[in-house]
């Protein structure tokens, strides 16, 4: 698939400022900026996954699980609060079966996305469902992973402080087969973490997160699952507590060959202890 990816541009400002962005309106504040990012739009080839079993979480930063889950699309879109815990239990069981290296897994977040017909020209925020994310990123840095748990499990620092853990995402479409704005994954073995990765302050209306964003490198190799079904789960690592393991940098990409329904997807985030 020939498409483009909106990388974070290399810029001298990052010699004196940490990258940041916010989805909170700041137009009414004199001198305020919503971001110090500049786009670096690059034409890329995103290759289809041929054999899902070839991909390894520890090496590539992502892998695949083939499994049927009970979450219905309409429930996810309209009753997320009521049904998310049941889905979490399903995901935890699947991850325990797939990854025996984890002694304990706890899901703590669920995001539902439904692409608007006019995306990306108009990107609506703080609605019941979110839009796809075009910037290649990891949802949290190692420091951001600790910030995630502090917010998700308040007053329970003994639960995670000083522990060896990963923050994982499990992503799938709500209706399939999906080819509309699919999730593209970057092979970690093609990323130079010393030059390509930039930590970023993600300022939200109720918190500040720290995630990681990619700069362009011509060596990057991107992949997606063509005709992804609801039983094709993508598992990727956002970060680990030690900052030593493969990360699953990802973004949504325009598929010029797509036709049919607009993308609807669900992703859960969990902490997995070793």
pLDDT at residue 129, rounded to an integer: 86
- Is the peptide bond prior to 82 cis by the omega test (within 30 degrees of 0)? no
pLDDT, mean of residues 75-93: 95
pLDDT, mean of residues 260-273: 96
pLDDT, mean of residues 21-38: 90
> Do residues 76 and 175 make contact, with C-beta atoms less than 8 angstroms apart?
no
Please, what is the Cα angle at 165 between 162 and 170, to 5 degrees? 155
CA pair distance 269, 82, nearest whole angstrom: 17
pLDDT at residue 200, rounded to an integer: 97
Q: Which domains does the chain have, with CATH numbers?
A: 2-7+37-273 (2.60.120)
For residue 104, how many C-alpha atoms fall within 13 Å in the half-sphere facing its CB?
7
Mean pLDDT of the chain: 95
Higher pLDDT, 46 or 128: 46
- Going edge to edge, which strands form the sheet with 39-48? 2-8, 39-48, 222-224, 183-186, 250-252, 137-138, 207-214, 197-204, 20-22
Evaluate if residue 126 carries a pLDDT over 70. Answer: no
CA pair distance 61, 51, nearest whole angstrom: 16
Q: What are phi and psi of 112, to 5 degrees?
A: -115, 135
pLDDT, mean of residues 183-192: 98
User: Three-class SS of residue 208?
Assistant: strand
- Give the model's confidence band at 259: pLDDT under 50 very low, under 70 low, under 90 confident, else very high: confident
What is the chain's length? 274
> Do residues 20 and 201 make contact, with C-beta atoms less than 8 angstroms apart?
yes
Q: How would you classify the pairing of strands 183-186 and 104-114? A: unpaired
CA pair distance 142, 85, nearest whole angstrom: 25
């Amino acid at each position: 698939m020939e498409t483009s990816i909106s990388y974070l541009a290399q810029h001298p400002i990052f010699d004196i400022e940490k990258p940041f962005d916010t989805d909170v309106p700041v137009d009414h504040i004199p001198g305020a900026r919503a971001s110090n990012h500049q786009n670096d739009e690059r034409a890329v080839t995103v290759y289809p996954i041929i054999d899902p079993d070839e991909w390894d979480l520890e090496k590539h930063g992502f892998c695949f699980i083939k499994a049927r889950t009970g979450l219905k699309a309409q429930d996810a879109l309209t009753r997320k609060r009521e049904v998310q815990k049941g889905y979490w239990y399903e995901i935890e069981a699947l991850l325990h079966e797939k990854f025996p290296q984890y002694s304990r897994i706890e899901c703590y977040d669920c995001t539902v996305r439904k692409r608007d017909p006019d995306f990306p020209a108009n990107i609506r925020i703080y609605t019941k469902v979110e839009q796809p994310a075009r910037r290649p990123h990891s949802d949290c840095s190692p420091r951001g992973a600790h910030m995630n748990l502090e917010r998700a499990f308040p007053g329970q620092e003994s639960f995670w402080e000083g522990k060896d853990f990963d923050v994982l995402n499990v992503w799938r479409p709500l209706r399939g087969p999906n080819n509309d704005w699919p999730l593209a994954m970057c092979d970690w073995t093609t990323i130079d973490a010393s030059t390509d990765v930039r930590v970023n302050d993600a300022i939200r209306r109720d918190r500040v997160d720290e995630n990681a964003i990619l700069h362009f490198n011509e060596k990057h190799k991107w992949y997606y699952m063509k005709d992804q079904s609801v039983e094709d789960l993508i598992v990727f690592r956002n970060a680990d507590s030690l900052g030593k393991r493969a990360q699953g940098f990802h973004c949504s990409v325009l598929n010029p060959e797509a036709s049919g329904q607009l993308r609807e997807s669900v992703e859960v985030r969990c902490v997995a202890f070793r």
